């Protein structure tokens, strides 16, 4: 069974976290929710969320993938976290899947993981990206082991690409959920 860490920080976009995590669990992918600074996390729209454990208790070696949901508050907290940056770099160095949606690809940029890659993200945040990194207009992009999404409205396209990067097919799950297929 594949295993993914979803990192949460206060200010996370709840829709991105819940929808993507739900799709992954329906695909029998083990989801571990890692809180950046605590088990109790406050979403960007005021919803209380719970992590399974702290990021500090997680080792990149135990996961096949990592996912950073967006939400500017959460993305900014992850952007400023040396622990998140090192976790991402170790996941990439060890050949694992790295993914982010909405504002969170800026964290991938800070970790040095976007250079020479195709990616997408929420428009207007280019100032957080390294020189030469420009997002595309697509709702979701998979470039090798890097998966990115544009915003909350693209969660199902993003989850499809993330699942594919992990060797899973969302077709049956999406048919049962009445998610439009491409």
The residues annotated as belonging to the active site are 102
Q: How confident is the model at residue 2 (pLDDT cuts 50, 70, 90)?
A: very high
Say which residue, 181 or 43, is predicted with more confidence: 43
Q: Walk me through the domains of the chain, giving residue ranges and CATH numbers.
A: 3-175 (3.40.50.880)
DSSP 130: P
Q: How confident is the model at residue 74 (pLDDT cuts 50, 70, 90)?
A: very high
Helix, strand, or coil here: 176?
Answer: helix
| CA–CA gap between residue 158 and residue 152 (Å, rounded) | 9
Q: Compute the mean pLDDT over every residue in the chain, rounded to the nearest whole number.
A: 97
Q: Is the per-residue pLDDT at 41 higher than 90?
A: yes
Residue 57: pLDDT above 90?
yes
Reported as a single tens digit per residue, the pLDDT across 149-171 is 999 999 999 999 999 999 999 99
CA atoms 49, 51, 56, 60: torsion sign = negative
Does the reported pTM lie above 0.85?
Answer: yes
Position 73 pLDDT exceeds 90: yes
Mean pLDDT confidence for 131-139: 95
Closest CA to 177 of 28, 22, 33: 22
């Amino acid at each position: 069974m594949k295993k993914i860490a979803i990192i949460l920080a206060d200010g996370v976009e709840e829709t991105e976290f819940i929808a993507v995590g739900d799709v992954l669990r329906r695909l029998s992918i083990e989801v571990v929710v890692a809180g950046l600074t605590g088990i109790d996390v406050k979403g960007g729209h005021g919803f209380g969320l719970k992590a399974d454990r702290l990021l500090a208790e997680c080792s990149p070696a135990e996961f096949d993938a990592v996912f950073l949901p967006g939400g500017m508050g959460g993305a900014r907290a992850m952007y400023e976290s040396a622990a998140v940056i090192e976790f991402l770099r170790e996941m990439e160095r060890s050949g694992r899947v790295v993914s982010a949606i909405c504002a969170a690809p800026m964290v991938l940029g800070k970790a040095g993981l976007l250079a020479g890659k195709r990616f997408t993200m929420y428009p207007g945040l280019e100032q957080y990206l390294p020189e030469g990194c420009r997002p595309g207009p697509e709702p979701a992009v998979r470039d090798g082991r890097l998966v990115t999404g544009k915003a909350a409205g693209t969660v199902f396209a993003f989850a499809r690409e993330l699942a594919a990067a992990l060797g899973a097919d969302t077709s049956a799950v999406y048919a049962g959920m009445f998610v439009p297929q491409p």
